[in-house]
Amino acid sequence: MLCALLLCCGTSACSTNDPLRIESPALPTTPAAQSSAPSINDERAWEQPFSPAQVRQVLLATDLDAVSTRENSEADIREYLTECDKCLVALPAYETAGEKFQIYSVSTAGDAYSFASFAIRDAKGTPEVALAVGGSDVYLSAGKEGSLVAQEAVYKPDDPMCCPSGWSVRMFRYQDGQFIQGDSFASPVDPAEDQGTEQ
């Protein structure tokens, strides 16, 4: 009886009147974690005014040679657009000067490796490609001061697909109804080598 009383007193001294709260494990801060899959409502918002099917038709009618690379030819990109519904991915929209642009990437289905990214404008009710970029794991996203940023992975020959050695960034400004490329820069492929050149 004494043991039971002591146990009750000990546990009540540590308790609070607050309800039990379950903590979620901390999410990693990697870019992949930050760009986690959107909810269905988010996807519907991103897919306005044009659905992926409408954008796919416009892309298939576009000269895709400008976004082709040695690794991914125009024929490869067309094959992904034609054969793989999940390979055309809607990303967060970009707005500037009162105009909204939908952002879409063409990616591999298995590992979401993007090799082309597009800004789509509403041209009097019809989707139109306003900007197209191609490259290695390339994405378009809103940047600072109204810019649209193309970020591309830089791989050394021995880099695994998960882990590029650096990043290349191109910034675009929307001016007089078109995107103009501005600044571009690259993070060092090997930070140690970059520091060594500064000394």
Residue 71 · residue 116 · CB < 8 Å: no
Helix H or strand E segment including 61: none
List the beta strands (DSSP E) in the chain. Answer: 88-96, 99-107, 114-123, 126-134, 139-142, 148-154, 166-175, 178-186
Sign of the Cα torsion 76, 79, 85, 91 reads positive
Q: Decide: residue 159, CB within 10 A, 0-12 exposed, 13-18 middle, 19+ buried.
A: middle
Among 86-90, 93-97, 120-124, 163-167, where is mean pLDDT lowest?
A: 163-167
d(CA 47, CA 103): 9
- Is the overall model pTM greater than 0.85, yes or no? no
pLDDT (average), residues 171-186: 90
- The pLDDT of 48-70, averaged and rounded, is 92
Higher local confidence (pLDDT), 194 or 124 = 124
Higher pLDDT, 26 or 59: 59
Query: What mean pLDDT comes out for the span 49-60?
Result: 94
Distance CA 131, CA 102 (A): 11
Identify whether the C-beta of residue 105 lies closer than 8 Å to the C-beta of residue 89.
Answer: yes
CA–CA distance, 48 with 101 (Å, rounded to integer): 10
- Tens of pLDDT, residue by residue over 21-40, are 323 333 333 333 334 444 55
Q: Which pLDDT value is given to residue 44?
A: 65
**128 closest CA partner among 32, 79, 55, 42:** 55
Q: Is the pLDDT of residue 62 over 70?
A: yes
What's the rounded Cα separation, in Å, for the pair 34 and 139? 14
- Whole-number pLDDT of residue 38: 47
Domain ranges across the chain:
39-198
* CA–CA distances in Å: residue 87 to residues 7, 78, 109, 110: 60, 11, 5, 9
Given this model, what pLDDT does residue 189 score? 56
pLDDT digit string, tens, across residues 122-155? 999 999 999 999 988 899 999 988 899 999 888 7
So what's the pLDDT on residue 109?
83
| pLDDT above 80 for 69 | yes
